[in-house]
Structure 1
């Protein structure tokens, strides 16, 4: 079994919950007009864009986690509770059990302290929420296993321009997605293979973490793939327009410079 496979339906599709939320927010949105397509207006709405970016972040982290070896079990979009909450990624391996909260902050400046995480100077609840997720999972796994099971919370940052650590939180791991696999594989082993498999199997059982209805099969992956293609095409059109404007500006500036120079030469000649 590879690092990205699970023993059941739960946890097999990265970003399942946010993809579903994105498509739900996009439902009923009118097709872009021809003019909008010509000028590259994004098909995303204000409601769907945060879900879309969240999905991209989770998919990117899932690709990173796929590089882990066979000693690791990775689950994605693991439902917990009855209100639609989920764990972005749950990782079980030699180094222990981790709940990973993926945060896509495109081109943002992130500051991390012992008790706060700021995004472009704004306070967030990332540390508190990640801590709560891990505690919630640990409590449920402990109850099912009949013995204490520790779960470590992690925040994985995607797309940030810069990450500044004033002081690292004592109980929440914060790192970039590019650091994730190396960080996990370099930690000391704490779980034997048998216990790892038992914990991973528990995480795939609906009765362990959630009593929700719905499965990853409910996610319309082709529809999201089509939306990604449309968003990418619109971005490329905007880039072409931006390049065209820059070239036109440069050509205009060159024309003005030549005309000015010609006028000066004519003045000197006269």
Structure 2
């Protein structure tokens, strides 16, 4: 809903059915964590030798899902600093397949759809409709624009008033983000810029409007005609945190072996007779 839209009120607007609002409990990154477990499972299937040498638990198929979850969880932590006048939904299932919106934020300054992209150590360059990571072009801007337009239409249908959603790509962990020229409708931000971008905009919604929009957005049927069963967020988060500890443990073990190898080699060379 833009500043020019008709005001919402509790008589004409959307009223949240009692006992619903299931999306409010979704964990940041929940969709990608579920995909990760579908690809590789949640247990450690390595043997004793593999664990001893710190062999990675992640293969080429599971690694992007794991990285994606780390990025969305980081943005989720940033968004948790917003005050009580804001509603933040994570991993919102949308459409007929497995698509989701990483984060939907609703508050006094508008409705926002956030697309998190984690590219640790990479250089990001963007201008108009081009988004490049280390020299490779990605369709992030087009996808984010489409996501916001779809979110606006779905929320408009739910509250029976025009709703405009604004899009942003939130880049996590990049070495450098260069915005040469701004896109017409999608902001490209770092984690550090996110809260300022959301909160320093003009106020366009009253407290009542925010409440009505938030109630509609928290309803799974707003986003999908036949919402799928939603897994327990706490269970998914616990499984991911356990996997994350194992992944970090394996990484530290690999680093330890790499650091130990030169010393062991030097010791062996020193023991050789000359």
Give the C-alpha shift of residue 11 in structure 1. 3.8
Instruction: Verify: 1:193 aligned to 2:236, yes or no.
Output: no
Q: How does 1:81-100 map to 2 (within 5 A)?
A: 81-100=95-114
Give the C-alpha shift of residue 10 in structure 1. 1.1
2:130 maps to 116
TM-score by length of 1: 0.86
Which of 24, 36, 39 is equivalent to 1:25?
39
Where 1:43 maps in the other structure, the secondary structure is coil
TM-score by length of 2: 0.85
1:180 maps to 194
Contact in 2 for aligned 1:81/1:212 (Cα 8 Å)? no
1:231 maps to 247
Change (3 A) 1:77 1:28: closer
Change (3 A) 1:232 1:30: closer
| Larger radius of gyration between Structure 1 and Structure 2 | 1
2:6 maps to none
Where 1:166 maps in the other structure, the secondary structure is strand
Q: Is the deviation greater in 136-145 or in 51-60?
A: 136-145
1:52 maps to 66
Where 2:124 maps in the other structure, the secondary structure is strand
Where 2:216 maps in the other structure, the secondary structure is helix
Give the C-alpha shift of residue 118 in structure 1. 0.4
Change (3 A) 1:28 1:143: closer
Q: Distance in 2 between matches of 1:69 and 1:28?
A: 34
Q: Is the deviation greater in 65-74 or in 11-20?
A: 11-20
Gaps in structure 2 of 5+ consecutive residues: 1-19
Give the C-alpha shift of residue 240 in structure 1. 1.2
Which of 10, 25, 28 is equivalent to 1:14?
28
Gaps in structure 1 of 5+ consecutive residues: 1-6, 256-270
Give the C-alpha shift of residue 249 in structure 1. 6.7
Instruction: Verify: 1:241 aligned to 2:254, yes or no.
Output: no
Instruction: Verify: 1:138 aligned to 2:160, yes or no.
Output: no
Which of 193, 196, 204 is equivalent to 2:218?
204
Change (3 A) 1:162 1:246: farther
Contact in 1 for aligned 2:42/2:243 (Cα 8 Å)? no
List, as ranges, runs of 4+ consecutive aligned residues in structure 1 with deviation greater than 4 Å.
246-253
**What count of residue pairs does the alignment treat as equivalent?**
251
Q: Which has the higher contact order (CA 8 A, sep 6+)?
A: 2
Where 2:23 maps in the other structure, the secondary structure is coil
Q: Distance in 1 between matches of 2:195 and 2:268?
A: 50
Where 1:128 maps in the other structure, the secondary structure is helix
Where 2:36 maps in the other structure, the secondary structure is helix
Give the C-alpha shift of residue 251 in structure 1. 7.2
